[in-house]
Structure formats: structure tokens, C-alpha cells
């Protein structure tokens, strides 16, 4: 049960995490060594029927507390990450709505510009015809 570890911890928190992981691994090894006899028993009884002696219960309790300590930091980080992702989702949603409003405004402005251009072109065409009529007279 070897874990891959970095050569040098980068921060003191990494040192603490590495120490906690090492403790958990040692606790699990001790637990497995103490309880290996239960695994070698014939399949006559369920494992939950076998009472644990005081040292095995202490080992189990110690392993559970170590796992909870190690997992506690990870769970906190995961919860923080979930919160940040939810905030980012809300930001992206509001920005998407803002962009949609901007595009709708641009489309309205573009249509108004096209109508104005047509009106100007029609007026210029009318003036041109009027000027040609005046020259012909």
C-alpha cells in the first residue's frame, strides 16, 4: 500500500497532509495485521457477528478519526469549490442575459439604421428625378 509522494512538500499544509496520510496508512496497516485472523476464518459466520477486542476497537476508532481529519480538509475544499462554481455559474448566466440584451439592442439599432438609409436613398432618388425634370424643361 505505497502512496506516491512528492519529493519535497511545497507548503507546511502539504507537510501536515503528508503526515496525516502516513498516519492513516500506518493505522490501516496495523488494523489489517490485527484483524487478519478474521479474514482467514471459514465462511461460517458473518463478520459483524464477531465482537472486536478493545485494542481492535481502539485501532478502528483511531483509523476512523484519522480518515475524518484527512477527509475534513478535502471536504471543506470541495464545498468551497462548489460555492465558487455556483457563483461562477450565476455570473455566466447574468452575463449571458446581458449579452442577449446587447445583441437585441444592436439588432434594433441596425434595423433603424437600415430604415433610415432606405428613406435617405429614396429621398435622394426623388431629388435626382426632380433635378433631371428641371434640366429637361
29 neighbors 1 (Cβ within 8 angstroms): yes
25 neighbors 78 (Cβ within 8 angstroms): no
Give tens-digit pLDDT for 66-89.
777 777 778 888 899 999 999 999
- The dihedral sign for the CA sequence 36, 42, 48, 51: negative
Quote the CA–CA distance of 95 and 106 in Å, as a whole number. Answer: 16
Q: How many residues does the chain have?
A: 137
**Residue 10 pLDDT > 50, yes or no?**
yes
Contacts of 47 by beta carbon, 8 Å cutoff, 6+ apart: 38
Average pLDDT over residues 3-21: 65
pTM of the full predicted structure?
0.43
Give tens-digit pLDDT for 47-57.
455 556 777 77
Amino acid at each position: 500500500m505505497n502512496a506516491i509522494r512528492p519529493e519535497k512538500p511545497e507548503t507546511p499544509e502539504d507537510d501536515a497532509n503528508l503526515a496525516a496520510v502516513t498516519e492513516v496508512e500506518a493505522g490501516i496497516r496495523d488494523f489489517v495485521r490485527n484483524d487478519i485472523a478474521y479474514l482467514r476464518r471459514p465462511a461460517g459466520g458473518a463478520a459483524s457477528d464477531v465482537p472486536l477486542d478493545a485494542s481492535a476497537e481502539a485501532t478502528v476508532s483511531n483509523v476512523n478519526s484519522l480518515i475524518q481529519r484527512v477527509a475534513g480538509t478535502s471536504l471543506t475544499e470541495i464545498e468551497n469549490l462548489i460555492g465558487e462554481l455556483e457563483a461562477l455559474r450565476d455570473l455566466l448566466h447574468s452575463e449571458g442575459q446581458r449579452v442577449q440584451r446587447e445583441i437585441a439592442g444592436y439588432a434594433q439599432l441596425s434595423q433603424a439604421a437600415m430604415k433610415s438609409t432606405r428613406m435617405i436613398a429614396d429621398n435622394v432618388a426623388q431629388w435626382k428625378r426632380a433635378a433631371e425634370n428641371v434640366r429637361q424643361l
